[in-house]
Amino acid sequence: MARPIRIDFEGAIHHVIIKGIEGSNIFYSPEDKIFFLENLRNFANSHGAKIYGYCLMDNHAHLLIETGFTPLSKILQKFLTRYVQWFNKKWDRWGHLLGDRYKSILVDKKSYFLVVLRYIHLNPVKAKITDNPLSYRWSSLKEYMEKPVHIDPSLALSYFYSKEEFYDFHLMDMEEPPVMRVKSQNILIYGDSATMNDVLSRMNKERREAKIRKPIEPDEVILYMNKNFGLKEISFKKHKPSYERKVLVVLLRDRCHLTWKKISEITKTSKHSNILLYKRLPEKEHKKILEVFDEWKMLLVND
Residue 3 has pLDDT above 70, yes or no: no
107: phi then psi, degrees, rounded to nearest 5: -115, 125
Residue burial 72-90, b: 16+ Cβ < 10 Å; e: rest: beebbeebbeebbeebeee
Cβ proximity of 278 and 241 under 8 Å: no
Whole-angstrom distance, CA of residue 21 vs CA of residue 51:
24
pTM over 0.75: no
Band (pLDDT 50/70/90 cuts) for residue 36 is very high
Least confident of 33-47, 126-140, 179-193, 217-231: 179-193
Using the Cα atoms of residue 195, residue 198, residue 204 and residue 205 in order, give the sign of their dihedral.
negative
Render pLDDT for 178-234 as a digit per residue (tens, 0 to 9). Answer: 555 555 556 778 777 676 677 777 766 665 555 556 788 999 998 888 888 877 666
Q: What is the sign, positive or negative, of the torsion defined by CA atoms of 74, 80, 82, 84?
A: negative
State percent of the chain over pLDDT 90.
46
Residue 38 has pLDDT above 90, yes or no: yes
246: nearest Cα among 205, 208, 290 = 290
Domains of the chain, start order: 13-205 (3.30.70.1290), 213-302 (1.10.1750)
